[in-house]
Amino acid sequence: MKILTNIFSRLTLVAIACTLVVSTPINAGEVKTNPSGADSARSARLIVKRSANFGVDESINLFVDGTKVAVVGHDGSYDAPLAPGNHALSISTSPETFPEGAPKRLAITAEPGKTYTFTAVWSDPERAVLVQN
């Protein structure tokens, strides 16, 4: 019986540790989109914020050129260098609120030294979009 109690205790600790790891939010971090390590004069800057009334239960999944670069939670933002050139920006929400399909893509042409600032807003009750500031 003592062996079963010991095994049960260890399994419980492993389950608690797994739960903590899974529930830890992923914060938006800087993603280097220009692998050459260029300074700010040779790269653009991308900033994505959440509108003040976006909600606390939804997080934003930010995609640049189809690659997920960040998860932006409540009171979060994304601020990172962006390689010059053509890019497609898009967002989705978690939990997903796009029952009709893929999110709308926003095309931009990034120029060196410029900053591109966007805010995620609800354009209607079921669709979040990026609007340029």
SS3 68: strand
CATH number, residue 73 = 2.60.40
Which residue bears the tokens 């939670």?
Answer: 73
The pLDDT value given to residue 117: 97
| 12-36 pLDDT, tens digit each | 656 665 565 555 454 444 444 444 4
Which residue bears the tokens 């797994």?
Answer: 18
Q: Residue 8: inside a domain, yes or no?
A: no
CB 49 within 8 A of CB 128: no
CB 120 within 8 A of CB 106: no
**What is the residue range of 67's domain?**
26-132
Q: Residue 115: inside a domain, yes or no?
A: yes
In the structure, what pLDDT confidence band is assigned to residue 85 with cuts at 50, 70 and 90?
Answer: very high
Report which of residues 37 and 13 the model is more confident about: 13
Report which of residues 89 and 103 the model is more confident about: 89
Task: State pTM to two decimals.
Answer: 0.68
Q: Residue 13: inside a domain, yes or no?
A: no
Indicate if the pLDDT at residue 67 is higher than 70: yes
Q: Residue 6: inside a domain, yes or no?
A: no
CB 84 within 8 A of CB 42: yes
Q: Residue 3: inside a domain, yes or no?
A: no
**4-33 residues labelled b (16+ CB within 10 A) or e (exposed):** eeeeeeeeeeeeeeeeeeeeeeeebeebeb
Total domain count for the chain? 1
Q: Average per-residue pLDDT in the chain?
A: 80
Q: Residue 11: inside a domain, yes or no?
A: no
